[in-house]
Copies of this chain bind each other. A is one copy, B any other.
Amino acid sequence: MAGSSSETSDDGLPGEFEVIRRYFAPLAAGMPGALNLTDDACTYLPPAGEELVLTADALVADVHFLRNDPPDLVARKMLRVNLSDLAAKGAKPVGYLMTVAVDHAVTASWLANFARGLAEDQRQFGIHLMGGDTIRTPGPLSLSLTAIGTVPGGRAMRRRGAQPGDRIFVTGTIGDGYLGLRILRAEWPDLSVGYRQFLTDRYQLPEPRLVLGREIMAAGIATAAMDVSDGLAADLGHLARSSGCGAVIHAERTPLSGAAAEILSREPGLLPKLITGGDDYELLLTVRPENAAQLREIAGKAGLLLTELGEMTDSGSVGILDRDGAPLDLSQRGYQHF
């Protein structure tokens, strides 16, 4: 994260070097190889026998987050979405590189709060900033992040590998993120404050299932795994396609939070939206039938809800069945940014 200027610019933001020194260098303090971001590159020696897991994401203001969203929450969700990808591999997170393209509307206070959010989640997840770049853009504020974790060599879980007959499980509850976004858009104003808070938290601060992911990886029982980010229906499709088989799940088994169940009781037609909505960041897993009990035991010890949704098939298609065994009508599959 080497800068090109130490000038102060018109909008009161300090120059690139000072932005790095003031807001970002403290985030690299726990990563010795990052040398306080005073060098062009970071060095990192993985533990012996561990391989790296690398994933990258880009976010643009008013496409992937709102320009007026609290900057600390933007920062934390960006980290958590990527940590969720690492969780699905069974990886232990190490750190991240980040590029920030700053637009004219970004203030020193925005940057300070953004960095505060990063610091908070760095502490929570034991990760550190490893490097990056800070530039100016005439377009909207844009962020790009490469997250890095480690996993014992050859043990990373994958989307591929599921076989017909494997049981399909999902952690936690589905649809909360989708509903949380709608709550933020002022829908269901008469819902209780507690439910509203729960759902918006689920949207803004998803919990990457890192501990559970690592334990399932260590047990070696998942034939396939991924995190649910594009919606349960779309991501099950990805998993099935990667594995070269089909799947059948039962919509009424979809695990719902109390808040989601309350909204669904008012609008029973909403179930397909919960299944396609996205932003869940739960783990979707397949195991051989004989390993289902062990998976339940691991989730139980971790105190995390685990629900069996259905099974993989040799059909080549993904069926989501309603109570009567008929295909559920899903008007939209998966969240579409692109």
Contact = CB atoms under 8 A, between A and B. Distances in A.
A78 B308 CA distance: 46
Interface stretch (A96-104, A261-269, A298-306, A310-318): A96-104
Interface in A123-157: 130-140, 142, 144, 146, 148, 151, 153, 156
Contact of A54 (B44, B63, B226, B242): B44
Nearest to A52: B44
A258 interface: no
A158 interface: yes
Contacts of A35: 158, 160
Contacts of A59: 135
Contacts of A85: 40-41
B135 A64 contact: yes
Contacts of A43: 51-54, 89, 151, 156
Contact of A101 (B38, B42, B51, B58): B58
A33 B53 CA distance: 9
Given A40-B88, A160-B39, A63 B136 contact: yes
A99 B58 CA distance: 6
A40 B133 CA distance: 23
A138 B338 contact: no
A120 interface: no
A57 interface: yes
A58 B135 contact: yes
Contacts of A64: 135
Chain copies in the assembly?
2
A185 interface: no
A45 B41 contact: no
Contacts of A44: 51-52, 54
A55 interface: yes
A42 B38 contact: no
A336 B5 CA distance: 5
B146 A137 contact: no
Nearest to A238: B2
Nearest to A54: B42
Contacts of A7: 336
A135 B7 CA distance: 32
A112 interface: no
A323 to B, nearest CB: 29
B135 A338 contact: yes
Contacts of A1: 56
A60 interface: yes
A99 B338 contact: no
A288 B54 CA distance: 38
Which of A40, A53, A131, A132 is the most central at the interface, judged by chain B CB atoms within 10 Å of its CB?
A: A40
Closest 6 CB pairs of A and B: A139-B139, A144-B144, A58-B99, A16-B338, A45-B51, A41-B55
6 contacts: A16-B338, A39-B160, A56-B146, A97-B146, A139-B139, A139-B142
